[in-house]
Amino acid sequence: MTQKMRTGMVISGALLLVAVAAWIYQLQEGLILTNMQNSYSWGLYISGLAFFVGNAAGGLVLTSSIYLFGVKKLKPLARLGALTAFANVTAAMLIVLPDIGKPVRLYNMLLHPNWMSPLVWDVIVLNLYAVAAAVYLYILMLPELTGRLGWLAIRVNDPHAFSERWARRIAPVALLFAIGIHVVTAWIFSTQGARDWWFSPVMAPDFVSVAIAVGTTVVLLAAALAYGTGEQYQEAYRTLGLIIFMATCVHLFLMANDLVIHAWYGNTETHRIMEIAWGDFGLAHLFEVAAPLLGAWLLTRPQVLGSLPRLLTGSALLIAGVFVHRFLIMPASYNNIPMTLTPFGLPGNHWSLPIASGRLLPGTGTFLDHYAYFPSLVEITILLGIMAYAVFLVLLAIARLPILARENR
């Protein structure tokens, strides 16, 4: 283990512990410690779910490229892809826990699952994907589980051939679950007919494209940190950069396509959505478009892929842009009250029925039709802690397991 890795583990481990403490505090006091209220009932945690689910796509991109499309040069990165996928999909499940009012009752999901609920579907696919990523990682590591790690290995005649054969067999199944997590997570939002901002068939394909962009960036970032930016990796990095750029363009196209159609027709709901997305959150919206585009473009440049600081900048821009994109899932929905009508005798008037906040909010009334949500310190701490968890897990696995190519351990 290098000194840098040790430092990384200490910092991420400490952050994780702080987040656990924050969650215990929140368990005691209730979700009053967040800045959500009744009219704005999901916030940073559920944005975090969408964010981590997207990050988990790296495994999918690599396995399908290698085993379905035969891009052999990516093979050295396959384990890193499976590992980041596992870390992020488990992070996605963890970030839901602090959002749940009564987490001790989660067993009800097993006892009384409602098969109509997309949340139940999501829990199922997230778990399946986590298992698939773990099994896949294990199969890929199998030939090198020797010596100190020998006890972990199942006994097979020719581990290399076995690993190759099973990786090829698992790849299509894993791919199915992988696409499933993005589609079903999107459905949680896009099935809600109450919310015009979400109720769009484009959301699921868009989630897939965002995920391919950001998940691949996560793998590229991890690979550059682990292996550096030497000549022997440039070919693989260029392939990843191209995938990232194309997926980002598809994402921006899908987003713009949706907005143009609605804006062209110009109904009131769309006007209200636009006011929020481009009015209240104009700068954030600009960032969610410009940062990933710039980041993705940088990651196609050989000069950028060949220099660690530049590669880090490009990846950071893209990941930050996608994070803001995930944050912006909420405001245009919650600040757009579905119960809006045109009162008798007032055509042209669109009046929204205010919602009772459910908690004392000093400085505002009880009934709200607009709420400037910004996450509380507890929410931010817990989210950072879950990010730290993913980093910690990746570092720990790299330190203990044959994740990297032999000469880099």
Could you tell me the smallest distance in angstroms from the CB atom of residue 119 to another protein?
A: 4
Say whether residue 29 binds another protein (CB under 8 A). Answer: yes
Say whether residue 69 binds another protein (CB under 8 A). Answer: no
By C-alpha distance, which of 305, 177, 167, 171 is closest to 232? 305
Instruction: Pick the binder of another protein from 205, 338, 370, 405 (CB under 8 A).
Output: 338
Say whether residue 343 binds another protein (CB under 8 A). Answer: yes
| Length of the chain in terms of residues written | 409
User: What part of residues 130-189 is at the interface with another protein (CB under 8 A)?
Assistant: 188
On the CB side of 74, how many CA atoms lie within 13 Å of its CA?
A: 28
Give, for 87, the enclosing helix (H) or strand (E). helix 78-96
By C-alpha distance, which of 90, 94, 288, 49 is closest to 185? 49
Task: Please identify, among the stretches 76-84, 110-118, 143-151, 256-264, the one whose residues bind another protein according to the rule CB under 8 A.
Answer: 110-118
Give the per-residue contact string, 85-104, with another protein (x = CB under 8 A; - = no). --------------xxxxx-
Between residues 234 and 366, which has the closer beta carbon with respect to another protein? 366
Could you tell me the smallest distance in angstroms from the CB atom of residue 278 to another protein?
A: 23
Instruction: Pick the binder of another protein from 1, 11, 17, 106 (CB under 8 A).
Output: 106
Say whether residue 24 binds another protein (CB under 8 A). Answer: no
Whole-angstrom CA distances from 224 to 156, 272, 276, 305 are 33, 43, 38, 9
Instruction: Pick the binder of another protein from 150, 344, 363, 407 (CB under 8 A).
Output: 344
Is there a contact between 285 and 278 (Cβ–Cβ < 8 Å)? yes
d(CA 251, CA 236): 23
- CA–CA–CA angle 285, 286, 292 (5° rounding): 95
Between residues 122 and 206, which has the closer beta carbon with respect to another protein? 122
Could you tell me the smallest distance in angstroms from the CB atom of residue 98 to another protein?
A: 11
d(CA 337, CA 339): 5
Dihedral, 391, 396, 401, 402 alpha carbons, nearest 10: 50
Say whether residue 108 binds another protein (CB under 8 A). Answer: yes
User: What part of residues 354-383 is at the interface with another protein (CB under 8 A)?
Assistant: 354-361, 366-367
Between residues 76 and 113, which has the closer beta carbon with respect to another protein? 113
Say whether residue 113 binds another protein (CB under 8 A). Answer: yes
Between residues 253 and 367, which has the closer beta carbon with respect to another protein? 367
By C-alpha distance, which of 9, 76, 3 is closest to 407? 76
Residue 40, phi then psi, degrees to nearest 5: -135, 80
Instruction: Pick the binder of another protein from 3, 70, 116, 155 (CB under 8 A).
Output: 116
For 49, the token pair is 């779910």
Could you tell me the smallest distance in angstroms from the CB atom of residue 44 to another protein?
A: 14
| Count of residues near another protein by CB under 8 A | 57
Between residues 90 and 357, which has the closer beta carbon with respect to another protein? 357
Is there a contact between 350 and 268 (Cβ–Cβ < 8 Å)? yes
The label of the residue with tokens 């392939």 reads 239
3 state SS of 224: helix
For 373, the token pair is 């949500």
Q: Which amino acid is at 145?
A: L
Say whether residue 349 binds another protein (CB under 8 A). Answer: yes
Between residues 31 and 80, which has the closer beta carbon with respect to another protein? 31
Task: Give the binding site for another protein (CB under 8 A).
Answer: 29-32, 36-39, 41-42, 99-103, 105-106, 108-109, 111-114, 116-120, 123, 188, 191-195, 333, 337-339, 341, 343-346, 349, 351, 353-361, 366-367
